[in-house]
Amino acid sequence: MMKKLIWVIAIVCTACIVHAQDPASWTFTAKKIDAKTFEINLSATLDDDWHLYSQTTPDGGPVPTSVSFAKNPLLVLEGKVKEVGTMEKHFEKLFGVQVFQYSEKVDFVQTVKLKANAKTNISGTVEFMLCNDEMCLPPKKVPFNISLK
């Protein structure tokens, strides 16, 4: 009984330490394309052996990455958020579906146009789930706020 309790405590502590270290780091930038067009880059860098999932991950699988933008009357979103990185596809026994995931690095890119020449910001959240070969962390939301100049 005592051995089982020690193992449970060790597993919980390990999960807490890994979660506290956060195996994903995010950077949020804007690149000016022309006077009124910007490319928004939401870039995730992942620790070794960790991955996050594509926006197109099928139902029944892990939580797909999603990007939500706050409404801004000065901006128009052009198209959908694109994924730039090396997509890995494989059947995941844990979920019973084929998953689409990224390891090491992935960029989520959105083109936006200003309705008028004005300084403004684009803000929102990116929601994602991280897994490695042994466990998954709960989905997490990270807010961003990017200046458009």
Q: What is the pLDDT of residues 95-105, one digit of tens each?
A: 899 999 999 99
pLDDT digits (tens, 9 = 90+) for 25-59: 999 999 999 999 999 999 999 999 999 999 998 88
Please name which of 100, 103, 94 lies closest in space to residue 134, comparing C-alpha atoms. Answer: 94
> Is residue 30 within 8 Å of residue 96, measured between CB atoms?
no
β 75-92/66-69 pair status: unpaired
Average pLDDT, the chain: 88
Average pLDDT over residues 110-131: 96
Domains of the chain: total: 1
- pLDDT, residue 20, reads 55
Q: Is residue 134 part of a domain?
A: yes
Please name which of 67, 66, 61, 68 lies closest in space to residue 131, comparing C-alpha atoms. Answer: 61
User: What residues does 27 pair with on adjacent strands?
Assistant: 43
Cα 105 versus chain centre, distance: 10
**Which residue bears the tokens 């709960």?**
138
CATH code of 130's domain: 2.60.40.1250
Q: Is residue 52 part of a domain?
A: yes
> Is residue 76 within 8 Å of residue 115, measured between CB atoms?
yes
Domain residue limits at 49: 24-148
Q: Is residue 101 part of a domain?
A: yes
Q: Is residue 9 part of a domain?
A: no
